[in-house]
Chain A
Amino acid sequence: MNIWTIREKKLVLISYRPVLILPATVLFLALLLVVLLVETGYVTSVGYDIQRLESTKRDWERDNQLIVADIASAASLSNIEREAKERLKMQVSDSFLYVKIDKSKNSSSVLAHSLDRSELSSSLER
């Protein structure tokens, strides 16, 4: 290839320029619009995903708060008392027996304390 050939090609290209500019621009803009469309679509999709995840997170946080509340209610004194009475058929005792065992002396010494003699006696008799 010599210098004259190059000049000829340049001349040819220059002569076609006005014809190519318009379609090239249109093509470029079309491509740009497609890219923008894809990008917008992607952003929208990600945006919706974020909103959905945030909403799910909030739902879980709410569910967590409700579970904490349920646990607190289940552990409340009134609930424990109700469960003990109704489900386990337990009764409130007015008498108590304390037994103190001295382990160091091979459990030969036992000291018992009671708070209510009469009720304790009746329960022992039964």
Chain B
Amino acid sequence: MKTISGISGIRLFLVSLLLTCAALAIAVRLLHIQIYQNEEYRQRAKAEHLSEEVIPAPRGVIRDRNGYPLAITTPGYDVMLDINKAKSHPLSDVDITALSTALNIDHNILGARAMASKNSNVLLAAAAEYEIGKKIAQAKIPAIKLLPTVRREYPEGNIAATLVGFIGRDHLGLTGIEADFQGEIGGIPGKLYFERDSLGDPIPMGYHREVLPRDGGDLTLTIDRFIQRVAEQELDAAIEKYKADGGTVIVMDPYTGELLGIASKPSFSLEKLDILDPGNAELYRNRAITDLYEPGSTFKVITMAAALNEGLVNRNTTYYDGGPVVKYGTTINTWNGGHYGMQNMTDLLVTSNNVGASWVSDLLGPDRFYDYVKRFGFGQPTNIGLSGEAIGQLRTNKDSGWSPIDLTTNSYGQGISVTPLQLTTAFAAVANGGTLMRPVVVKKIEADGVTRGVRPVEVRRVLDEKIMPELWAMMHEAAERGSPPSKVAGFKVAGKTGTADIPSIGGYTGGTIGSFVGFIPYPEPKAVILVKIDNPKSAPWGSVVASPVFSAVAKRILVHWRVQPSTVSPIAKEITGRN
């Protein structure tokens, strides 16, 4: 008995010990969970019941200089497949048909999207129109969930597409103004916290907290929608007519540096954008600021302006063009092989004489020539404030690899590369009386009730105002007497054509870039217009392909501005006589 009771006592002791250990283990585990892992479990419980949704911030409006919206934000819906509900109420074929009709998405594509995942919600359509979203909501398809979002719309259509740019699905700007001014116009997204039931639906009287989004600021550009549209229409017509690869038209206010229009093609459609297509990437850049080209004979105006400013020549100064000249082993000839004997500076520009331009550059010498080239802003950024701006390629006599022949070729715009914006800015300095202005594209930013205006910035004085009448008169004659002349009916213009070969590695491609840069009207400039046509197939010359575009754009702008014509036509005199 003693032994048995001893065994029982041991067993009882062991059982008690086991139970005590188990109880202790449970206590320790509870202690661990409730004290040491308290925060982790609290978060897990919170995540189980609390849901968090991002409320996209309404993106600011991008307007033209007169307040007309170019890009605005409207409400929309992301159409989602709720995977939890789809398990109990799968999408039927009728549902998919109804959705594909409402969303204008192919039935099979939509069906494939719906089957894309079995574990997480599926985005069937991003940023669907608000009215479409409401119709889908009315259809009450259990597995379909609509999340409020915002859409970017473009009331003026595709104008200024490369300038305005576009946003991604995360509502962040990806290109153009949308990307460069993301901080100003993007706003700050809000958040919605709510308690949800087992199906993920909000519990009506459960926890609910909303952090409101902060609206993005509004941006007013210097662009005039009418001028922008005119520039794009005329550019498109020219590209089609001359079978060109692309082109650029820039219209600038010479006194403020404000861009009134900036068109570059090829471009893309803001309304039918497919950012997933890698083939479109080439179309997104704003070629007016990113692409370099040799300015060709338009650069002779820069050379002539420098020589006039230095007092080395005047419009009647003559030199002798006796034929091709050989300089440093290179033959310098005129564009058409024609030579003119004794020729003055005005005729040099009218005939666009390379031999004459090289003669002028010799008068200037490399130090003064490159000083002016730099003062005009070549080889440096214009600081317009848009990303991707190229600075150009300029090799001066201070740089290694420079040779004296560079001075000669640079004088007529070869061996130097510029952006269309740089050349427009330089011509604006000529048109406004000699001051280089910083080009601007944003006029004002309005955010949180505060308006910040962008004022014109004078970069530096390049030319003396006194030489302007002479230089403008020479440019006027170059336009009027060019071959063919660049005229705008009823108005006087001033400008210069240019034709340059397209460089490639180790030489030239054989194609050309035809251009015209000038101002309207002469002698009271109101706008500088640059036209550049890339690789036209039907005619290579700037005077043939770019000059008519300049005339067409200039005429429509002057009529739009109600500028009184400077010339009186016979029929007008006839009407005057009648009265």
Residues of A within 8 A of B (CB): 44, 47-48, 62, 65-66, 68-69, 72-73, 75-78, 96-100, 110-117, 120-121, 124
Contact = CB atoms under 8 A, between A and B. Distances in A.
B130 interface: yes
Contacts of A120: 569, 571
Contact of A113 (B72, B75, B155, B568): B568
B75 A62 contact: yes
A73 B571 contact: no
Given A65-B74, A100-B564, A115-B565, 12 more contacts: A48-B204, A62-B75, A65-B58, A65-B73, A66-B74, A66-B75, A66-B130, A76-B156, A77-B229, A78-B157, A97-B575, A110-B579
B74 A113 contact: no
Interface centre among B74, B567, B570 (most CB of A within 10 A): B74
A113 B568 CA distance: 5
Interface of B: 58, 68-69, 72-75, 130-131, 153, 155-157, 204-205, 225-226, 229, 489-490, 555, 559, 564-565, 567-573, 575-576, 579
Contacts of A69: 72, 74, 153, 155
Given A66-B130, A69-B72, A115 B489 contact: yes
Contacts of B572: 97, 112-114
Nearest to B208: A51
A115 B556 CA distance: 11
Given A68-B72, A114-B569, A115-B555, A75 B155 contact: yes
A72 B576 contact: no
Contact of B155 (A62, A76, A99): A76
B310 to A, nearest CB: 39
A69 B575 CA distance: 46
A89 B439 CA distance: 41
A116 B576 CA distance: 16
A124 B578 CA distance: 13
B576 A65 contact: no
Contacts of A47: 205
B69 A72 contact: yes
A98 B561 CA distance: 13
Nearest to B68: A75
A74 to B, nearest CB: 9
Contacts of B573: 112
A66 B153 CA distance: 10
A114 B490 contact: yes
Contacts of A73: 155
Nearest to B70: A72
A121 B155 contact: no
B291 to A, nearest CB: 27
Given A47-B205, A66-B74, A121-B571, A113 B156 contact: no
A83 B378 CA distance: 45
Contacts of A48: 204
B454 to A, nearest CB: 23
B130 A62 contact: yes
Nearest to B151: A69
B163 to A, nearest CB: 16
A47 B510 CA distance: 75
A112 B68 CA distance: 33
B205 A113 contact: no
**7 closest pairs, A vs B, by CB?**
A72-B155, A115-B490, A62-B75, A110-B579, A113-B565, A112-B572, A112-B575
Nearest to A47: B205
12 contacts: A48-B204, A65-B73, A69-B155, A75-B155, A76-B156, A78-B156, A78-B157, A112-B573, A114-B565, A114-B571, A116-B490, A120-B569
B564 A98 contact: yes
Contacts of A66: 74-75, 130-131
Contacts of B155: 69, 72-73, 75-76
Nearest to A67: B74
Contacts of B131: 66
A66 B129 CA distance: 10
B576 A77 contact: no
B149 to A, nearest CB: 11
A47 B208 CA distance: 11
Nearest to B202: A51
A94 B501 CA distance: 35
Contacts of B69: 72
A77 B156 contact: yes
A109 to B, nearest CB: 8
Contacts of A100: 564
B196 to A, nearest CB: 16
A62 B226 CA distance: 29
A66 B72 CA distance: 10
A66 B571 CA distance: 50
B421 to A, nearest CB: 24
A108 to B, nearest CB: 8
Interface centre among B204, B205, B572 (most CB of A within 10 A): B572
Contacts of B205: 44, 47
Contacts of B74: 65-66, 69
Contacts of A115: 489-490, 555, 559, 565, 569
